[in-house]
Amino acid sequence: MVISSSHIYSKRNFDVVNTNTANKINVKRFTQSGQIQIYQSSYRGSYASIIRDSLRNAALGRKVLLIQFMKGGAKQGLDNAVKLCGNLTWVRSSHSFDQYNSEAIENNKNIKKSIHESTLELWNFCKKELQSGENDQVILDEIFLAIDMKIINKDDLISTLENRFISGDVILTGTDIPKDLLLMANQITELRS
């Protein structure tokens, strides 16, 4: 019998997968890496299909984490993540870039600091999740804008992706994608208007 997503199946169905742990040898954990997919567009807000696919994956039993770095608002952030279909965790920034116009951000140090702090909080959470192996799919929506704004360090993202522990895919979206990340991708999709 062939079982897709076997690590999920084995965790939830102990009767089907029976392993003998009595003679356990020191086993080293190995990295299972899914694909890195990049969705690029010339304009923001073009990723409805990715959100649709994440909902479908969650409904099919895959554990999905969707992080929106630049979208958010009041009563959002890590403490107010939305759970959908039992398997999709949708997190938006508590103080997002999209709440303000760019002039207001540049002219108000408190707003700028708040956006940077909430975005970094999301990024630190993402790094832990990518290392945990708990998710089957992780979507980092508009992470390239956070890199462009110098909130997230590009080299930190590259290092985190290289050392991730996830059997499923990591999906990154944005407009201006650094060449280093394009070279890491298994799949690049350009969305056109």
Span 169-184, average pLDDT = 90
Span 168-188, average pLDDT = 89
Span 101-117, average pLDDT = 77
pLDDT grade for 176, boundaries at 50, 70 and 90: confident
* Domains (range + CATH), the chain: 31-191 (3.40.50.300)
Two tokens at 134?
Answer: 């708990």
Token pair 């959908």 is at which residue? Answer: 84
Dihedral-angle region of residue 166 (phi above 0 means left; psi in -120 to 50 means alpha; beta otherwise)? beta
CA distance 81 to 67: 10
pLDDT of residue 100: 61
Two tokens at 149?
Answer: 């704004």
- Give 119-161 pLDDT, tens digit per residue: 899 999 999 999 988 999 999 998 998 898 888 999 999 999 9
pLDDT of residue 24: 47
Q: Give the global pTM.
A: 0.75
Weakest mean pLDDT among 31-45, 72-86, 95-109, 165-179: 95-109
Token pair 């990024």 is at which residue? Answer: 123
pLDDT of residue 58: 92
**From the centroid of its chain, how far is CA 189?**
17
Q: Which residues pair with 72 in a beta bridge?
A: 93
- Give 29-86 pLDDT, tens digit per residue: 444 568 999 988 876 665 678 888 888 999 999 999 999 888 766 677 788 888 888 8
pLDDT of residue 33: 62
Burial 91-129 (b: 16+ CB within 10 A, else e): bbbbbbbbbbeeeebeeeeebbebbbebbebbbebbbeb
Q: Check: CB of residue 30 under 8 Å from CB of residue 45.
A: no
pLDDT of residue 65: 95
CA distance 70 to 119: 8
